[in-house]
Amino acid sequence: MSPRRSDPRARPGLVTIAARLLAEEGPQALSTRRIASEVGTSTMALYTHFNGMRGLARAIVHEGFARLQQHFTRVRPSDDPVCDLALLGRAYRCNAQANPHLYAVMFGGSSLAGFSLDEEDRQYGRYTLAGVTECAARCIGAGRFRPADPELVAHQMWSAVHGLVVLELGGYLIEPCDADRLLEAQLVGLMVGVGDTREAAAGSVAASARRLREEVVPAVDAAGPE
């Protein structure tokens, strides 16, 4: 009798279920038996697809960044690059809100089976910033930002929005300084800080909020759970 072929459809389910259990119940909730049972497959699937729990943890990190990239690609370039840049920041937050269980492990915030991020994993994550860097370069080329290293501008955006997201997911941002209000002020402040006028920055940031509702969020909803 030939061995039963593994079901390739089980792989994404294993990643998603493991990440959710890790975020909601902690590492103690994770075992090969528990994960396989949640997905409806055998424990052997974890070894077939990932060579064990450490391989699964790495797949969780990569899946998280793949979903972030999907959100970024929904932002189409327009004739207002500052609006596009602000919308990328909103898309970053939108991804974290949609995938908090994956977001927790993308930056080493949760650990599994002794796994820790290595430089290859971090570089994989950095690749998602390429589109943000390109957008920052467009802002500089359009004269909205002062001459600067676009990669540095992209990292400024990343670190600022990431900090906000971590605080928001941790439940720290409440009225009168809730996450929505803070994000609006933060985005305008970032654009002004790298050279835009406050009036132009405020207009572009406001336009990015409308585009989020019209372009990014409907696409996420239409795609369903990622």
pLDDT one-digit tens code per residue, 48-86: 998 888 888 888 888 889 989 999 999 999 999 999 999
Query: What pLDDT, in 10s, does the model give residues 121-159?
Result: 888 889 999 999 999 999 999 999 999 999 999 999 999
Burial class (CB in 10 A: 0-12, 13-18, 19+), 220: buried
What is the rounded distance in angstroms from the CA atom of residue 43 to the CA atom of residue 56?
12
Residue type for 70, please?
Q
The angle formed by the CA atoms of residues 121, 110 and 165, to the nearest 5 degrees, is 85
Please state the pTM of the whole predicted model: 0.85
